[in-house]
Amino acid sequence: MKFAVVVFPGSNCDIDMYHAIKDELGEDVDYVDYRETSLEEYDAVLLPGGFSYGDYLRSGAIAARLPIAAGIKEAAQQGKPVLGVCNGFQVLLELGLLPGAMRRNRQLTFICKPTTLIVKNNQTPFTSTYESNQEVSIPVAHGEGNYFCDPATLTELKENGQIAFTYAEDINGSIENIAGITNKEGNVLGMMPHPERAVDELLGSKDGLNMFVSLLKQWRESHAITS
């Protein structure tokens, strides 16, 4: 399986994401520059955290208008798994691949700490190796991670099983403690916590590794069916 880690000016978790795939998962991975336009050769696309363009506009707004945006949208439309973490989640919102928006944390301060998440849907390509309602420890590091959507969108998210993760407790004001959501098709996931920072016990937790294992499992199963 071949992964792409898209690098924007201001990305700072791209190396962590690369390490998670290359050294922990043992799969092929490349850095892909934001000036590229195609991700055709990759099986999965990863948008890392950071501060693309310094978050000088809305977080992720400028990154969503770069040449690579076309490739990200095409990959999503083709059904390839697309994972956006932290700033990557914000980019997916700005691209319109996920519903809702991000606001500043309720307490108006940057949060950086381990958090407990609850796996709300383990029937996605990203979560199949977790148990339903399993509690996992994955760190957060964000100042603008307060997820918001209107009541109609929230109802849709619930009815379609698009809420992948929730925080075990309210840490930033996110509506219904939402920490991560998918698109209706389930192949695009945006989440504020950083699974790539939880892939080894030396980091305090390896609970994030199962997310990448799930992607590999799903790809191998689909590849076996089509080959």
pLDDT in tens, 119-132: 999 999 999 999 99
Q: Is the pLDDT of residue 69 over 90?
A: yes
pLDDT at residue 74, as a whole number: 98
- Token duo for residue 114: 């381990």
pLDDT at residue 226, as a whole number: 57
φ, ψ of residue 80 in degrees (nearest 5): -70, 145
pLDDT at residue 223, as a whole number: 82
Q: How far is CA 23 from CA 119, 182, 194, in A?
A: 25, 26, 17
Q: Is the pLDDT of residue 225 over 70?
A: no
Q: What is the mean pLDDT of residues 28-40?
A: 97
For the chain, give every domain's residue range.
2-226
What lies within 8 Å, CB to CB, of 224 at 6+ separation is: none
Q: Is the pLDDT of residue 85 over 80?
A: yes
Dihedral sign for Cα atoms in the order 105, 205, 117, 156:
positive
Q: How far is CA 161 from CA 149, 178, 179, 181, in A?
A: 15, 12, 14, 9
Q: Is the pLDDT of residue 25 over 90?
A: yes
The string over 64-92, giving b where at least 16 C-beta atoms fall within 10 Å of a residue's C-beta and e elsewhere, is bebebbebbbebbeeebbbbbbbbbbbbb
What pTM was computed for the model?
Answer: 0.96
Residue 56: band (very low, low, confident or very high) from pLDDT cuts 50, 70, 90: confident
Q: Is the pLDDT of residue 227 over 60?
A: no
Over the chain, what is the mean pLDDT? 96
pLDDT at residue 55, as a whole number: 87
- Token duo for residue 202: 């030396």
Higher pLDDT, 223 or 111: 111
- Rounded Cα–Cα distance for residues 2 and 139 (Å): 26
pLDDT at residue 57, as a whole number: 84
Instruction: Give the pLDDT confidence of 138-177 residue by residue, as tens digits.
Output: 999 999 999 999 999 999 999 999 999 999 999 999 999 9
Looking at domain 2-226, its CATH architecture is 3-Layer(aba) Sandwich (3.40)
Task: Cite the active site residues.
Answer: 86, 194, 196
